[in-house]
Amino acid sequence: MAIFWNRARSSSSPLLQRIKRHVITGGDYFILSRSFTTLEGHRPTIVHKRSLDILHDPWFNKGTAFSMTERDRLDLRGLLPPNVVSPDVQIERFMVDLKRLEVQARDGPSDPNALAKWRILNRLHDRNETMYYKVLINNIEEYAPIVYTPTVGLVCQNYSGLFRRPRGMYFSAEDRGEMMSMVYNWPAEQVDMIVVTDGSRILGLGDLGVQGIGITIGKLDLYVAAAGINPQRVLPVMIDVGTNNKKLLEDPLYLGLQQHRLDGDDYLAVIDEFMEAVFTRWPNVIVQFEDFQSKWAFKLLQRYRTTYRMFNDDVQGTAGVAIAGLLGAVRAQGRPMIDFPKQKIVVAGAGSAGIGVLNAARKTMARMLGNNEVAFQSAKSQFWVVDAKGLITEGRENIDPDALPFARNLKEMDRQGLREGASLAEVVKQVKPDVLLGLSAVGGLFSNEVLEALKDSTSTRPAIFAMSNPTKNAECTPDEAFSILGDNIIFASGSPFSNVDLGPSLLNIMWVE
């Protein structure tokens, strides 16, 4: 990132009139703050920093890559080693250190190597953001699983102990009435993307409270590295409304509010104030809701979707990716795309992600069938939904309103040899589905019994979507699926698996998320 000091040669210079100069007076002295211009994408940005302030700011620090001209203009001469090192050499040196320190950075034998990698990368992120993203972009396949799932789950579980330097913003229940002024504490005048969580359902790990901010940081790192979003225009946010995690409530090192979660109108008041505040300062920002528990995910989406530029990643993002995978599976089965409405799909999991995928798949089928009310009603007959209590039917007491449209008719189930609360293995055995879709967050749910039952699928090439993450929460592994069903299946997962040896069947793997 090139940084230049603009010297105005004339008091009438238009540039001089545009650059703000701040004069600080006190006693018998004054300081004139010099302004610098940095190229942010294709547009210049004014930077009111020099000397150590730049070296301590990861947004603008280039470390030893500052040229001698830049060092003179930015008052950096003498603050860096004299040799100017190119960014490529910087990265090469860092990668050598990373490989050497991966093992040394571990906190004992119980500390996974992946967490050591995250810790080293995080240190780089803290001091030199430009170099951090160059490393991430150049090694995205290797480091995406480190900065995001599955390693980010481990990071969130241990975030209070890993915390070294703040990143992003924290809005808490204690900040009610102050959020409108708080948003102006963030230094960026423009923010394009906010990822926000309340920490209530981080991946499949449950309530992690304020430690859930790790998921928003990791998600935005991927957006910057893979989608090219300007890193100075993204903002990870944690809304801390308490936690119901007993372990965190009793942990003296926990960094969040040690009180039970707000609920009802008190909870909504906090989220409402946050949304109003961020859109007041940044009217064009997009806010992504991430890992909110099912109880609130749909309610908040309905509450804000017509008022603000926002979406829920678990409800809508996962659904979009899943639909792409399901349509790809139809083609991989050698069938025409119009056969998608004929697919029999057993879904394990009725949380926000599961219901989001079901709604999207049903709408997609209905459009293919004529896009009318009859088609919409017909499409729901292609889904059998199993949650922690078993098969969901109309006989279920206190059924979740969001799952109600997919509850099966009791008489129809009797004819199929099924009942309310039937186990997943029973459902798979009787339905003989084309697709077994897992969004349960229950690792190993697709047991040998379930996979054996899938052998009787009416499809010549059944599809298994083990989409829960992190990896340990996947419903099954590729090896487990292929060891029982052979290589004539389609396998998709929500997290990458390493060391998958499929030989000629490698194309059966579709990384879904």
CA 464 to chain CA centroid, Å, is 23
Which residues are CB-neighbours of 394 under 8 A, at least 6 positions away? Answer: 407, 408, 409, 410
Say what the alpha-carbon torsion angle 388, 393, 394, 398 is, to the nearest 10 degrees: 0
Whether 469 has a binding-site annotation, put simply, is yes
Residue 47 pLDDT exceeds 70 = no
pLDDT of residue 199: 95
Q: At residue 499, what are phi and psi to the nearest 5 degrees? A: 55, 40
Average pLDDT of the chain is 84
Q: What is the DSSP letter of 315?
A: I
pLDDT of residue 505: 43
DSSP calls for 438-498: E-S--TT-S-HHHHHHGGG-SSSS-EEEE--SSGGGSSS-HHHHHHHHTTSSEEEESS--S
pLDDT of residue 35: 47
Residue 265 pLDDT exceeds 90 = yes
The answer to whether 301 touches 283, Cβ cutoff 8 Å, is no
Q: What is the pLDDT of residues 162-179, one digit of tens each?
A: 888 888 999 999 999 999
pLDDT of residue 21: 38
pLDDT of residue 508: 45
Tell whether the torsion through CA atoms of 190, 194, 199 and 202 is positive or negative.
Answer: negative
Q: Residue 309 in 3-state DSSP?
A: coil
Residue 503 pLDDT exceeds 60 = no
Closest Cα to residue 174, out of 258, 236, 295?
258
pLDDT of residue 14: 40
Q: At residue 486, what are phi and psi to the nearest 5 degrees? A: 75, -170
pLDDT of residue 12: 40
pLDDT of residue 130: 86
Read off the pTM.
0.74
* The 3-state secondary structure of 51-75, one letter per residue: CHHHHCCCCCCCHHHCCHHHHHHCC
- If pLDDT is split at 50, 70 and 90, which confidence band does 54 have? confident
Q: What is the pLDDT of residues 57-95, one digit of tens each?
A: 877 888 888 888 888 888 887 787 777 878 887 777 777
- If pLDDT is split at 50, 70 and 90, which confidence band does 506 have? very low
Residue 18 pLDDT exceeds 60 = no
Cis bond upstream, residue 150 (ω within 30): yes
Share of the chain above pLDDT 70, in %: 85
Round to whole Å and give the CA distance between 293 and 352.
7
Whether 201 has a binding-site annotation, put simply, is yes
Q: What is the pLDDT of residues 416-465, one digit of tens each?
A: 999 999 999 999 999 999 999 999 989 999 999 999 999 999 998 999 99
Residue owning tokens 């998608």: 340
Question: Which residues carry out catalysis?
Answer: 148, 219
End-to-end CA separation in angstroms for the chain: 31
- If pLDDT is split at 50, 70 and 90, which confidence band does 400 have? confident
Residue owning tokens 């030199």: 128
Residue 261 pLDDT exceeds 90 = yes
Strand partners, 24: 31
Q: Provide the token pair at 327.
A: 């349509």
Query: Helix, strand, coil: what percent of the chain each, to 5?
Result: 45, 15, 40
Q: What is the pLDDT of residues 321-356, one digit of tens each?
A: 899 999 999 999 999 999 999 999 999 999 888 999
CA 396 to chain CA centroid, Å, is 33
Does residue 200 or residue 52 have the better pLDDT? 200
Identity of the highest mean pLDDT range in 43-47, 97-101, 286-290, 475-479:
286-290
pLDDT of residue 29: 34
pLDDT of residue 27: 37
Closest Cα to residue 45, out of 228, 208, 188?
188
Strand partners, 128: none
Residue 476 pLDDT exceeds 80 = yes
Closest Cα to residue 257, out of 315, 339, 175, 322?
175
pLDDT of residue 93: 72
Does residue 26 or residue 368 have the better pLDDT? 368
Does residue 16 or residue 296 have the better pLDDT? 296
pLDDT of residue 45: 60
Number of neighbours of residue 93 by Cβ within 10 angstroms: 12
Segment (H or E) for 169: strand 169-172
Q: Provide the token pair at 446.
A: 């697709």
Q: Provide the token pair at 484.
A: 């029982």
Q: Give start and end residues of each alpha helix (H) in 228-317.
A: 246-249, 264-281, 294-304
Whether 245 has a binding-site annotation, put simply, is no
Q: At residue 119, what are phi and psi to the nearest 5 degrees? A: -65, -40
pLDDT of residue 34: 46
CA 86 to chain CA centroid, Å, is 32
Half-sphere exposure in the Cβ direction for 219 (13 Å, CA): 28
Residue 32 pLDDT exceeds 50 = no
Q: Which domains does the chain possess?
A: 149-308 (3.40.50.10380), 317-511 (3.40.50.720)
Share of the chain above pLDDT 90, in %: 55
Q: List the single range of 28-32, 392-396, 422-426 with lowest mean pLDDT.
A: 28-32
Tell me the mean pLDDT in the region 271-279: 97
pLDDT of residue 101: 63
